[in-house]
Structure 1
Amino acid sequence: MATSRLFITALFAFSSISMATPIENLRTLFVPAPTGRAIEPRSSSATGWHKRSEPHPDGSSYVVKQENLVLGLGRSTRREPEGFTVAFFKPDVAIDAMGKVLKVKADDFSALVDKAYETVGLPQSDLFGNLWSVKQPVSDLAIDRLLTAGSSSSIDQQHIISVYGHDGVTRELEEPVGGYTELPESLNDILTLGKEAREDYIFGEEDTAVVDAANAVLRKP
């Protein structure tokens, strides 16, 4: 029943999203650990990146380009089926959930990208959208969708992982994925870091023009 409920939730949340073909091309770009699993991070050196970032000089006139996308985090709930958390663009640019365009510290940007790439070697789940489901005592929780771009702007080189019920603390999975019974530390870390971009979020008060432009490249069919 739990698996069925989560599958239905995933279909609802992502019914209008075209999911990219995941890791086939990325396998030639990113080499996983010898066990076939992604290398786990040793620390979260990028913690606090959002507070350390400064307003980008271009502000809301910043031009979002698909080819500059490095990684991003979407969010799906009943209220926000195509919600947006953050998108990172080269060089060292982030757009947060409020639509603020930020200049990220170079060291923070590199650390964030490294952590995202650590998830590329993870196994895929059997659920729609490569969904990993964290075991939680309640239902109808958010689904976070991590997108990591490849070495080109091709949609076929995007790697996607979706996580239901992530809270940064609980890691036990509803069902094992490729031998994992807990959410991998690398995946837990990058989701937690990405969500720093929602720390000032107020629903309905975001810069919709900027958010829509950034969200469009995350969900480009």
Structure 2
Amino acid sequence: MTSTSISAEGWHTRAVPHPDHDALTFQPTIDNLLFTHRFSAMCAEGFVMALFLPDIAVDSDGNVLKVQPQDLVILAALVKDVARLPDGGPFNGVWCLSSTYTCQARDHLNVKTPEGTLKQSGVYAWSPRNTALAAPTAGYEHLPASLHELVGYAWEAYAGGSREKKPSPLVDVITSLAP
């Protein structure tokens, strides 16, 4: 899946419960937030994950995880690359992939820019195997590799097959930081 020579595939499996934080003690702030990923679909919407410096991920179930250093380097580099991309479209910067079906899910990202602000981006109809855009966008005919990879890696943090998740106060705090 990766366009880089090294991959973060499996990062969520390698991540371990954070030794210093859990869902009750971790206090997320906008200052240490690198990115968030949410989705919306016809039948549901939800939180996928968030990544924080120095080494913390919060997955869809609200688990606070320590990300392995080699995975954090890759994920942080992808966030940086996505922050530099042009907007994908008029609706919160969403890039629209070509799809034979309508009413596809939308992936919503908030990525930290070099200036320290959050930039919204996203993908409509993301698929692990399709990168063709519905129409040329900002000079691209295919979804930029960094955005495709970041969304794919983020989905690794979505535990289980059900889109109905139990409420998590920690996830509520994170989504209030990056709505």
Q: Tell me the TM-score normalised to structure 2 length.
A: 0.88
> Where does residue 68 of structure 1 map in the other structure?
32
Offset at 1:80? Answer: 3.1
Q: Does 1:87 align with 2:62?
A: no
More helix by share: 1
Matched pairs, number: 176
Listed one character per residue, the Cα deviations across residues 63-94 of structure 1 (whole Å, up to 9, x for unaligned) are: 2222210112111123334x211101111000
Offset at 1:127? Answer: 2.2
> Where does residue 129 of structure 1 map in the other structure?
92
Please list, as runs of the form range in 1=range in 2, the aligned pairs for 1:92-103 lying within 5 A after superposition.
Answer: 92-103=55-66
Listed one character per residue, the Cα deviations across residues 92-125 of structure 1 (whole Å, up to 9, x for unaligned) are: 0000011111111122112101012112332223
CA distance 1:47–1:183, change in 2 (3 Å): same
| CA RMSD, 1 decimal | 2.0
Opposite residue 55 of structure 1, the aligned amino acid is P
Distance 1:87 1:96 in 2: 7
> Where does residue 170 of structure 2 map in the other structure?
210
Listed one character per residue, the Cα deviations across residues 154-212 of structure 1 (whole Å, up to 9, x for unaligned) are: xxx22221110001211111111112111111111111011111143544443521221
Q: Which has the larger radius of gyration?
A: 1
Structure 1: 5+ residue stretches without partners: 1-39
CA distance 1:44–1:166, change in 2 (3 Å): farther
Q: Does 1:194 align with 2:154?
A: yes
Distance 1:206 1:140 in 2: 25
Structure 2: 5+ residue stretches without partners: none
Q: Indicate the percent of aligned positions where both proteins have the same amino acid.
A: 28
CA distance 1:204–1:145, change in 2 (3 Å): closer
